Homo-oligomer: A and B are copies of this chain.
C-alpha cells in the first residue's frame, strides 16, 4: 500500500483523535455498523480528496467497512492532521497522500496519486479531484460511475461545467442536502471560524466591530456566533435579498469600503475573489485582524496587500503582520486560508457526522443506481436527507411528533376553509 504522510510514528495520537471524534458521530457509526454487514460498496474504488481530519477518518473507515478500496488525499495543503493521516495508514490500512503544509507541487502530485488508482467514485471538497479529471485526465472519466461534492464552492464549479456542457461525470451535490448545508455551513462554520480566530489571536470578541463579508449560510453562521460572543457585527453583501435579511436580523449593512474604516476583525465567506481588496486595506485602522472562512485562499487579495506593505512579520502561530507604507498594521490569519481548518480543527465532529452520513449513503446510492445515472449535477435524494435527520435526533434523545391520519388528510385537501 502506497502512502505519503508526515510520519507513521504519530499514529497513536491520531488514533485517539479518531476515536474521540467517533463519540460525536453517532449517525455515521450506525451506518458503519450496517455497512459492515451488508458490504454495499464491495469492489468499489473510492478516491477521496477531503480535509484529512479525524472526522474524515471516520468517513473513510466507514467506506472501507462497506467493502470499498479507499484512497485519500488532502483537499487543502494546510488542513491535514498529520497524526490522523498516520493512524489511517498504520491502524486502518488506508492509503493517504497528505502532509500538512505541503507545497502546491506536492499537493497536485497527491491528487495525481489518487487519480492513478482509477476511482469508480470520486469524493471532493472543492472539486479539485474532479477538476483534474476534466482538465488533464479526461480518459479516467469513463471509469467513474459518479462523484460527490461537499462544498458550495465546488458545486458552483460543477454547475458552471454543467452549464457549459463540459461535465463528463454524474455528480452529487452533497452540499445541497439540507442535513449538510443547513448544519455544516451554518453551525459548523459558525463555531469553528470563531474558534480559529480566537486560537490564532486570543482576541476578545466582545465589543469589537466584526465585519462578515457574505451573508450566505456560512456568513450567517459566523455573524450569529460573533454576535453570540458579544461582537457588534457588520455585514457586507452583493445580493439585495440577503442584505435585507441581514438588516432585519439586526446587523449593520454597508459596502466593504465603508466597513473597512471601522472594523476591528474581518472575515470573508463568499466563495468569490478579492472580496477584501487594495482600496479596502488602505482604509483600515491600525491593528485590524483579517481572516478567511471561504473555501479558497482567494478572498483576501494578499498580492495587493504585499504591494501596499513595507514589511511582513510572523507573530504567533497563524498571524502574519503586514505594516503598510502608511504605518498601519494589518494582521492576516493563516495566509488567508480557511481559518477554521488552519488555526482550529475544522468543523466539530457532530456536524460532520451528518455531512459524512450523506457522503456514505450517497456512495451506496451511486453503486445501486449506477446504470441509471445521467451526466448532470444531482441533488441528494430527500429520503436520505430526512433519514439522517431522524437518526441524528434519535442519537440526541429528542422525540418529535407524527402527523395523525386526520392531519395528513387536511394538509392534502383544498376544500377546507375559514
Contact = CB atoms under 8 A, between A and B. Distances in A.
Interface of A: 16-17, 19-21, 23-24, 75-77, 104, 107, 126-128, 131, 134-135, 156-158, 160-161, 164, 166, 178-179, 182-183, 186-188, 190-191, 194-195, 198-199, 201-207, 224-225, 227-233, 236-241, 243-245, 247-256, 258, 271-275, 287, 296-298, 315-316, 319, 344-345, 347-351, 385-386, 389-390, 392-393, 396, 398-404, 406-407, 410-418
Contact of A183 (B248, B315, B393, B399): B248
A347 B205 CA distance: 11
Contact of A157 (B245, B316, B414): B414
Residue among A203, A207, A224 with most chain B CB within 10 A: A207
Number of copies: 4
A128 B418 contact: yes
Which 4 residue pairs spanning A and B have beta carbons closest together? A228-B228, A204-B348, A240-B389, A157-B414
A191 B348 CA distance: 18
A406 B126 contact: no
Contacts of A183: 244-245, 248
A389 B246 CA distance: 12
B187 A241 contact: no
Contact of A315 (B20, B231, B406): B20
Contacts of A228: 225, 227-230
B207 A232 contact: no
A57 B169 CA distance: 55
Contacts of A253: 393, 398, 400
Contacts of A157: 413-414
Nearest to A54: B202
Contact of A198 (B195, B399, B402): B195
Contacts of A206: 187, 190-191, 248-250, 351
Residue among A126, A160, A250 with most chain B CB within 10 A: A250
A252 B188 CA distance: 20
Given A156-B411, A228-B229, 18 more contacts: A160-B413, A166-B414, A179-B241, A190-B230, A191-B230, A202-B345, A225-B228, A227-B250, A230-B248, A232-B247, A233-B250, A238-B401, A240-B386, A240-B389, A243-B398, A253-B398, A273-B416, A298-B410
